[in-house]
Homo-oligomer: A and B are copies of this chain.
Amino acid sequence: MELNARAWLVLAFAHVRVPELQQLLAQFGGIDEIVSQQPSSLKAAGLADEKCMSIVSPDEQRIEAAIAWLADESHHIVPYGESDYPDLLAQIPGPPLLLYINGNPDVLHLPSLAIIGSRNPTQGGVRNATDFSRHLARCGFAIVSGLAQGIDAAEHRGALDVDGRTVALLGHGVDRVYPAANRDLAHAIATNGALVSEYPLGARPERWHFPERNRLISGCSLGTLVIEAARRSGSLITARLAADQGREVFALPGSIHNPLARGCHALIRQGAKLAETADDIITELAPLTGHLLQSTTDSASENGPSPALDDDYVDLLRFLSHDPVTIDELAAQSSLTIEQLSSMLLILELHGEVESLSGGRYALTG
């Protein structure tokens, strides 16, 4: 993969966008072919001079540094169009050409919910973020956010509290931590989920990165839940992006005397779903979750044996009984990974076939 990584890094450093990539692929056939073209050919394919020159004369030192970074087993790049690239993210306008990931890229294929909100929430807001995150992470959702102070930090921690999966989309290189207060949290997320960025290694947390980054928070999630937000706030922009991307938007109502409920109320007036409990969210996302998993399984199946989706679930049900088993035991018995099991058990639970019990154990219902 190293040579291929080099080619993707060359294109990423040249700021090639996905539509340009598609044009170049149509013309030249493959990534390796693109990066070995003459400037004139690239230009003839519609690429701007600057990008042509950057492809032909890449910053080798920077590429070497990135490839060295990739030597760590938790460091990954995931290019657009590859099977590791999240389906949901591929569907948004302006998808990133390349994702830099520190952690486990598989978590980006779990059913996912973005939880967003104020950097200066009330204590009640922090408690709600933690509670919703714990509950939904326990149900198998990956909890997605931006590693900011306040609501973001509370929900990342909530998911980690229950051994759940959580994803942080960053407005800077994944090799940096910002804000510094979240250093330990970032480390825990990399270990139990993923730190993800479209910005190159070393990129600073520039102010203009964050609105751009917000489209990825909503974009890699089935839905976005706003916990507490002021009337004019980044959270409301992210929620609007989610709606524009055709994703579900949920908002928690609150006291009319809480200024941070105003943003949520504004969203509800604009059509966001009013959420009182985690079940309100699960009910809405369950059908979408099934769909996502199906398409994920389909694309994954290109690289291996491809049993029909239904058979997968029937097989899994055979390993389950009314005696609770842990997900680790299921992984040992079946040919499925923890991540696959986690998604599939959620679906079965949503369909009432399986119930999740304390201690991460599962059993047939009834």
**Is there an interface contact between A256 and B269, defined as CB atoms closer than 8 Å?**
no
Within the complex, what minimum Cβ distance (angstroms) separates A319 from chain B?
37
**Is there an interface contact between A124 and B252, defined as CB atoms closer than 8 Å?**
no
**Is there an interface contact between B254 and A255, defined as CB atoms closer than 8 Å?**
yes
**Is there an interface contact between A256 and B277, defined as CB atoms closer than 8 Å?**
yes
Bound Cα distance from A276 to B255, whole angstroms: 9
Interface string of A258-278 (1 = CB under 8 A from B): 000110010011000111110
Bound Cα distance from A275 to B266, whole angstroms: 10
Within the complex, what minimum Cβ distance (angstroms) separates A99 from chain B?
34
Bound Cα distance from A253 to B268, whole angstroms: 10
Interface string of A121-144 (1 = CB under 8 A from B): 000100010000000000000000
Q: Which residue in chain B gives the minimum CB-CB distance to A268? A: B274
**Is there an interface contact between A253 and B265, defined as CB atoms closer than 8 Å?**
yes
Q: Which residue in chain B gives the minimum CB-CB distance to A256? A: B276
Q: Which residue in chain B gives the minimum CB-CB distance to A132? A: B256
Known A274-B265, A276-B265: A128·B254 in contact at CB below 8 Å = no
The residue in A124, A255, A277 that gathers the most chain B C-beta atoms within 10 A of its C-beta is A255
Bound Cα distance from A275 to B124, whole angstroms: 21
Interface string of A262-302 (1 = CB under 8 A from B): 10010011000111110000000000000000000000000
Within the complex, what minimum Cβ distance (angstroms) separates A250 from chain B?
12
Contact residues, A302-360 vs B (CB, 8 A)? none
- Please, which residues of chain B bring their CB within 8 A of the CB of A261? 253
- Please, which residues of chain B bring their CB within 8 A of the CB of A277? 256
Bound Cα distance from A268 to B262, whole angstroms: 15
Bound Cα distance from A273 to B253, whole angstroms: 13
- Please, which residues of chain B bring their CB within 8 A of the CB of A252? 256
Bound Cα distance from A277 to B265, whole angstroms: 12
Contact residues, A208-261 vs B (CB, 8 A)? 252-257, 261
Within the complex, what minimum Cβ distance (angstroms) separates A228 from chain B?
11
Within the complex, what minimum Cβ distance (angstroms) separates A4 from chain B?
48
The residue in A256, A265, A273 that gathers the most chain B C-beta atoms within 10 A of its C-beta is A256
The residue in A128, A253, A257, A273 that gathers the most chain B C-beta atoms within 10 A of its C-beta is A253
Contact with A262, one of B254, B257, B276 (Cβ below 8 angstroms): B276
Contact residues, A158-202 vs B (CB, 8 A)? none
- Please, which residues of chain B bring their CB within 8 A of the CB of A255? 124, 253-255
The residue in A262, A275, A276 that gathers the most chain B C-beta atoms within 10 A of its C-beta is A276
| Known interface pairs A255-B255, A265-B274; 15 further A-B residue pairs with C-beta atoms within 8 A, sorted by A's residue number | A124-B255, A128-B256, A253-B253, A253-B254, A253-B255, A253-B261, A253-B268, A254-B254, A254-B255, A254-B256, A256-B275, A262-B276, A268-B274, A269-B273, A269-B274
Residues of A within 8 A of B (CB): 124, 128, 252-257, 261-262, 265, 268-269, 273-277
21 inter-chain pairs at a CB distance below 8 angstroms, sorted by A residue, are A124-B255, A124-B257, A128-B256, A253-B253, A253-B254, A253-B255, A253-B256, A253-B261, A253-B265, A253-B268, A253-B274, A254-B255, A254-B256, A255-B255, A256-B275, A256-B277, A265-B274, A265-B276, A268-B268, A269-B273, A269-B274
The 8 A-B pairs at the shortest CB distance, nearest first, are namely A253-B253, A256-B276, A265-B274, A269-B274, A255-B255, A268-B274, A265-B276, A254-B255
